[in-house]
Amino acid sequence: MLGPDVPARIHAPARRRSGDFPGWVFHLPGSQERHLPAWGEPRLRKRPGRQGVPLRQPQRDQHLRLRRKFRGVNREPEDRDPQIRPRGIVTDWQGPPHLGALLVSGPDAVGFLHTQLTSDVRALQPGDGQASAALLRSGAVQGLFHLFRLPDRGQPFPSFFLLADSSLVPGLQRHLEAFVVTAAVEIEDVGGEFGGILVQGPEQAVEDLRGGLPDLALVFEVSLTGDPGFLALYPSGADTVEIENLLTATDLVRLADDESGRRLWNELRLEAGWLLPGRDYEPGATILSATGMEHRAVSWTKGCYPGQEVVARIRTYGSVPRCMAGLIIHEPLGLAVGDLPATGLPVLASDGAKIGTWASGGYSAVWDRPVALAYLDRDHRAPGTRLQLAAGERELEAEVVTLPFYTGTSAEERALQAYRQAVHLFGSGQDDRAVALLQEAVTLDTGLTEAWEALGVVLGRMERYHEAIDIFRRLEELAPDEPMVNTNLSLFSMKLGDKEEAEKQKALATLKKFGSGLTAKEIAVRDETRRREKAADARRRKALFAEVLELDPVDGPALMGMGGALFDLGEAEEAEPYLAKACEVMGDSSPLFVSHGRVLEGLGRRGEAVDVYRRGIAVAARKGDLMPLRELEHRLFLLEESNG
């Protein structure tokens, strides 16, 4: 809350004395949405009552420390506490990450910001926050930041807090003021009028500390490291003894504003994919679409804003030559972070070809490897791609991954992180580690069906059939209507020689495909009705698309539609060439590769399906289509396991 000593200008728009306000405490929207995601982080549904857990189990941390000590596999910074994420961190307002703030207020504040920023400002209710950006008309980023709407406390018009890297604030202020013209709005730099603390860490620790804050603090929920957290601001010169006493009673790691603190902060924000101006993008020069942040900071349904046409055109018709991606440095073992190429240097393939530009780099405790951000060209940024790179006299082996490197400490987010790591580990032949991470994932989030399925399939491939059966029986409790579960149970039972159980599970899979709770006759009648309706619709679509293709044999949507219609008619062999041609014509449609791959799987042409999924992953990565990318990666993961 804000007390009577807060700067009067914050309250001035209400034409009242600051002491007239009982206080401002607000949180981001949604009782279950507890923190604002870091840049590039996907929003995940959270369940009531679920709490965060430590990043790694103590036994795992001990193993990593011993491995580094006795084998020297990787050199973690000596001052890096391996428990820093499980403990959480606190830093002063004037320390890392060196934030600044603009106050935007006035009768026209909502409309003004809505027409100047990339996000849907009109959708913000009092107390809400969102990621946003300001662009030049060229589509270049002036700044990436978080925007908060202050809660209404009787003031006649709304006010907004723009939270950004302090180096951006003067330029953002000039940029916005240039568009004010006749708008009734004031834009003020208020960063120097506050003290405060930034807290990031496990959800429970963050909640406990926030609940004990005194009334003098203005609290924003914000995540800059991938973990839940908040920023608490209070007037400069305010008595902070109570806050310091609260911090002393916690296990939080305090980051000093020195070389060590700044390095640790850099590693945390790097894992979260939070971009820094001057290192990861150049304000006024880097196109937003190249940063990969438009999926977090852009509303695709709002009206015009500076640079909107450029952003929309790139999204609709193509992609940028180079786009931000994550790199995990696997080789050489023991590479020091200081040996990574500096920001701005070209990313060179082992043959000397320039394939991108290096951005930030640092050590990742999550991956136990050096990691880096880099702008990579179209041919080298598909997730899973292994790159052989030249770095001075060294050769590096790097793996391209989807950002962020770390997605948070809530149970659901940790589970997803473990699942994704398991996919990468399995792909590199580390089956045992993949199984361990998948087991961790299903422990953290028992509802993550993708992890249960992957764990069962991997165990089956390892010929651990009894364990695989146990996993799929647990999955059956979560997805009782999913025939895939019984299909796998049938397969593994057959592997064990239990033909009776295999036939039973096969019959259950068939029954689930056609329905339950009905008699056999009712199922047959319903199925026949649905078949006729589906066939009639498919024949109608087939005739329609045939007319279009007669006029234009390479019409992409018609090819896709014809393939879908034929597939619905049970003519998969005839459908496949149309979908293959559609992929050639509409090569930037990543969902189309999902459809084509599934048809090939159904035809038993698994090798071709693998190739299609890999091509689709490259397209989705190039365009930033996150949902198709996840599905393509998952399908490829399961298919490669079953082929293995």
pLDDT of residue 55: 31
Distance CA 328, CA 633 (A): 18
Taking residue 539's Cβ as centre, other Cβ atoms within 10 Å add up to 13
pLDDT of residue 121: 94
Distance CA 495, CA 497 (A): 5
Model confidence at 595: pLDDT above 80: yes
Reference 561, options 532, 538, 536, 591; nearest CA is: 538
Confidence of residue 411 (pLDDT cuts 50, 70, 90): low
CATH annotation of 89-269: 3.30.1360.120
Contacts of 241 (CB under 8 A, 6+ apart): none
Helix 499-514 and helix 520-551, axial crossing angle in degrees, nearest 10: 60
**CB contact at 8 A, 230 and 199:** yes
Q: What's the chain's average pLDDT?
A: 81
Distance, C-alpha 43 to centroid of its chain: 7
**CB contact at 8 A, 227 and 202:** yes
Distance CA 340, CA 329 (A): 9
Per CATH, the homologous superfamily of domain 321-405 is Aminomethyltransferase beta-barrel domains (2.40.30.110)
Per CATH, the homologous superfamily of domain 411-514 is Tetratricopeptide repeat domain (1.25.40.10)
- CA contacts within 13 A on the Cβ side of 397: 8
Between residues 598 and 37, which one has the greater pLDDT? 598
Q: Matching CATH topology for 321-405 and 411-514?
A: no
Pairing of strands 194-200, 229-235: antiparallel
Reference 240, options 191, 193, 196, 190; nearest CA is: 196
Helix 431-444 and helix 411-427, axial crossing angle in degrees, nearest 10: 170
Residue with tokens 């270049």: 140
Contacts of 640 (CB under 8 A, 6+ apart): 427, 610
pLDDT of residue 445: 78
Between residues 310 and 623, which one has the greater pLDDT? 310
pLDDT, tens digit (0-9, with 9 covering 90-100), for 135-181? 999 999 999 999 999 877 777 889 999 999 999 999 999 999 999 99
**Most confident stretch, 67-81, 91-105, 140-154, 534-548:** 91-105
Between residues 182 and 534, which one has the greater pLDDT? 182
Q: Where are the domains of the chain?
A: 89-269, 321-405, 411-514, 529-642
DSSP string, 51-91: ----SS-HHHHHHHHHHHHHH--S---TT--TTHHHH-EEE
Q: Give the E-state strand segments of 240-392 in sequence order.
A: 253-255, 322-331, 346-349, 354-364, 369-377, 386-391
Residue with tokens 């009768």: 107
Between residues 630 and 131, which one has the greater pLDDT? 131
pLDDT, tens digit (0-9, with 9 covering 90-100), for 523-550? 677 778 877 888 888 998 899 899 989 9
Model confidence at 122: pLDDT above 60: yes
Is the four-CA dihedral 186, 191, 197, 199 of positive or negative sign? Answer: positive
Is the four-CA dihedral 39, 36, 253, 237 of positive or negative sign? Answer: positive
Q: The CATH number of 529-642 is which of 1.10.630.10, 2.40.40.20, 3.30.450.90, 1.25.40.10?
A: 1.25.40.10
Distance CA 176, CA 174 (A): 6
Distance CA 126, CA 144 (A): 21
